[in-house]
């Protein structure tokens, strides 16, 4: 398989499995990622998704340059559209998706991480949008998501130069949430996933959609929607349970969502 999917309780892990090519992504990887995110989206028992790369060297070293080197315009359009579909599928997945970045996150690999909700990186992580050195601009959302995350000035510099960003700089510019030693990466990402999975799944899912509105919706419309989604929660089990548990000084027992 071009990717592996495993589950451990409420946490699903998707591992891109092409370590001999530093997990560079071809059409098959993208199709398999789409299927995996569609499957996970339909699962009420999964509360958080981890996305990582196989091996010790790379999260994803980019779109597969060997495949791209022989593409014509129509094939490149299809490849770009497919990369966008994966980014949108990650954003449309109702559960939070955490990128667990265990090495190179270059080009399409950086872009894949940008579509995730949270990025946890190892001290060995290296980011870049080096497309211009290959004679192309970013094609899987980097020109849009990187400025939204780190600001236009820094994104422009990184995209125009293609220079590499190590983990210490990545945390400073807000490209990642946390940097940890390589040996602790999985355990730190798993505990973050566990802490999310202890919260109300329906409230976490609603929150993911509301945060997306910060970029994709008109401000007033987004606030109106937030108020409505907030009120809707008061007809749900988890609101009663969460608040009653607080009053009774006990842990809340939340329900899986109805899918
Ligand atoms: N596409 C296809 N194959 C890739 C790849 C990519 N994006 N990135 C790495 N690989 C392959 C290499 O071709 C090599 O395969 P080979 O053994 O068949 O030659 C293998 O992965 C190992 O990479 P290698 O370059 O030998 O390792 P390195 O430690 O010397 O360098 C990198 C690592 C990541 C710096 C280097 O591979 C690189 O620059 N990759 C391309 C990064 C890039 O521009 N990505 C953006 C694409 S849009």
Which strands form 165-166's sheet, in the order they lie side by side? Answer: 58-60, 104-106, 126-128, 165-166
What pLDDT is stored for residue 111 in this prediction? 98
Q: Are residues 137 and 39 part of one domain?
A: yes
This prediction has a pTM of: 0.97
- For 148-185, write each residue's pLDDT tens digit: 999 999 999 999 999 999 999 999 999 999 999 999 99
- For 192-208, write each residue's pLDDT tens digit: 999 999 999 999 999 99
**What percent of the chain shows pLDDT beyond 70?**
100
Q: Which of 50, 4, 11 is nearest to 29 (CA)?
A: 4
Q: Are residues 214 and 152 part of one domain?
A: no
Range of the domain at 55: 2-197
Q: Are residues 105 and 11 part of one domain?
A: yes
Report helix, strand and coil shares of the chain as percent, to nearest 5. Answer: 55, 15, 30
Q: How many domains does the chain have?
A: 2
Average pLDDT, the chain: 97
Report the relative pairing of strands 165-166 and 126-128 from DSSP bridges.
Answer: antiparallel
In a domain, 237, yes or no: yes
pLDDT at 48 over 60: yes
- 111: annotated active-site residue: yes
Q: Can you tell me the mean pLDDT for 254-259?
A: 84
Q: Is the dihedral of CA 193, 194, 196, 201 positive or negative?
A: positive
In a domain, 60, yes or no: yes
Q: Can you tell me the mean pLDDT for 13-24?
A: 97
Q: Can you tell me the mean pLDDT for 30-54?
A: 98
What pLDDT is stored for residue 259 in this prediction? 57
In a domain, 228, yes or no: yes
Q: Are residues 167 and 61 part of one domain?
A: yes
Q: Are residues 228 and 167 part of one domain?
A: no
Q: Are residues 166 and 193 part of one domain?
A: yes
Q: Are residues 244 and 131 part of one domain?
A: no
- For 52-110, write each residue's pLDDT tens digit: 999 999 999 999 999 999 999 999 999 999 999 999 999 999 999 999 999 999 999 99
80: CATH: 3.90.226.10
Other beta carbons within 10 angstroms of residue 27's beta carbon come to 16
- Best residue for ligand 1 mutational test, from 24, 83, 103, 141 (most atoms within 8 Å of Cβ): 24
Q: Are residues 243 and 139 part of one domain?
A: no
Of the residues 78, 131, 157, 236, which is catalytic? 131
- Best residue for ligand 1 mutational test, from 16, 27, 28, 65 (most atoms within 8 Å of Cβ): 65
- 194: annotated active-site residue: no
Q: Can you tell me the mean pLDDT for 30-59?
A: 98
CB-defined site of ligand 1, < 6 Å: 21-22, 24, 61-66, 104, 106-108, 130-131, 134
3-class secondary-structure state, position 41: helix
Q: Are residues 129 and 21 part of one domain?
A: yes
The rounded Å distance from CA 60 to ligand 1 centre is 10
Q: Are residues 105 and 16 part of one domain?
A: yes
Q: Are residues 154 and 26 part of one domain?
A: yes
Residue 190 main-chain phi, psi, to 5 deg: -65, -40
In a domain, 254, yes or no: no
In this structure, the residue with its CA closest to atom 48 of ligand 1 is 107
In a domain, 257, yes or no: no
Q: Are residues 56 and 123 part of one domain?
A: yes
If residue 3 lies in a helix (H) or strand (E), which one and from where to where?
strand 3-8
């Amino acid at each position: 398989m071009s990717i592996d999917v495993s589950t451990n309780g409420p946490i699903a892990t998707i591992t891109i499995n092409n370590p001999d090519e530093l997990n560079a992504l071809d059409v098959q990887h993208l199709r398999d990622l789409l299927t995996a995110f569609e499957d996970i989206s339909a699962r009420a028992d999964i509360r958080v998704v981890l996305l990582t790369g196989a091996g010790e060297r790379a999260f994803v070293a980019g779109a597969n340059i060997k495949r791209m080197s022989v593409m014509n315009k129509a094939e490149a359009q299809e490849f770009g559209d497919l990369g966008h579909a994966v980014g949108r599928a990650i954003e449309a997945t109702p559960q939070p998706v955490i990128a667990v970045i265990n090495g190179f996150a270059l080009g399409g690999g950086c872009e894949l991480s940008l579509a995730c909700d949270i990025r946890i990186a190892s001290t060995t992580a290296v980011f870049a949008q080096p497309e211009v050195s290959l004679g192309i601009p970013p094609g899987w959302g980097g020109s849009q998501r990187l400025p939204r995350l780190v600001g236009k000035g820094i994104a422009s510099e990184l995209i125009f130069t293609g220079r590499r960003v190590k983990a210490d700089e990545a945390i400073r510019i807000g490209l990642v949430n946390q940097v940890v030693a390589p040996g602790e990466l999985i355990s730190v990402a798993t505990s973050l996933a566990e802490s999310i999975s202890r919260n109300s799944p329906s409230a976490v899912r609603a929150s993911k959609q509301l945060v997306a509105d910060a970029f994709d919706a008109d401000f007033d419309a987004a606030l109106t929607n937030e108020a409505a989604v907030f009120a809707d929660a008061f007809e749900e089990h988890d609101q009663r349970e969460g608040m009653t548990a607080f009053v009774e000084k006990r842990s809340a027992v939340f329900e899986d969502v109805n899918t």
